[in-house]
Structure 1
Amino acid sequence: MPGLLRGVARTAIVSGTATAVSNRVSRRQRGRWAEQERAQYATTAPPTSYTQQPPTPPPTPDMTDKIEQLKQLGDLKAQGVLTEAEFEQQKRRVLEA
């Protein structure tokens, strides 16, 4: 019986030691992986596609462009190319744009 007890005790010790070593190795490996992930995410910049930029407003026509168009319309009316009604219609179109 003493030989049987000695064998059971030795098996229990070996098994317990193997479990403790395995658990320690697993914890160390998890720690290394976590450190690698932290280092990886610390060095990478966030993607720019996630940042939303405000929409750009449509370009407003410059007032000098409108004045130039009105002068051209006035010249066409003075030359007789445009009637009074056509001139007023085109003037409204230029001013509303």
Structure 2
Amino acid sequence: MVGGVAAAAHHAGKRSAENQAAEQAQDAQLADLQAQQQYAQPQYAPPPPAPAAGGTDMVAELTSLKGLLDSGVLTQAEFDAQKQKVLNAR
């Protein structure tokens, strides 16, 4: 009977070690997935700074901002704020 108890304890210990190894592998996979997702997040650049004073630069910048507004990239409030920066740069 003692041999049977020892064998059962051995198998239980072996299963416990296997379960622990499987959990560690899953944790490692989860950490890798989280790291990949972190780097996959899109990065948004801030709006370009207003150009130095100059008639054609100002017109080009305002035209560009209007295009961003029309395409939905900028809200009306963002467009107005950027437009003021361009106009005040003179």
Q: What TM-score comes out, normalization by structure 1 length?
A: 0.46
Q: Which has the higher contact order (CA 8 A, sep 6+)?
A: 2
Rg (Cα) greater in structure: 1
Q: What TM-score comes out, normalization by structure 2 length?
A: 0.49
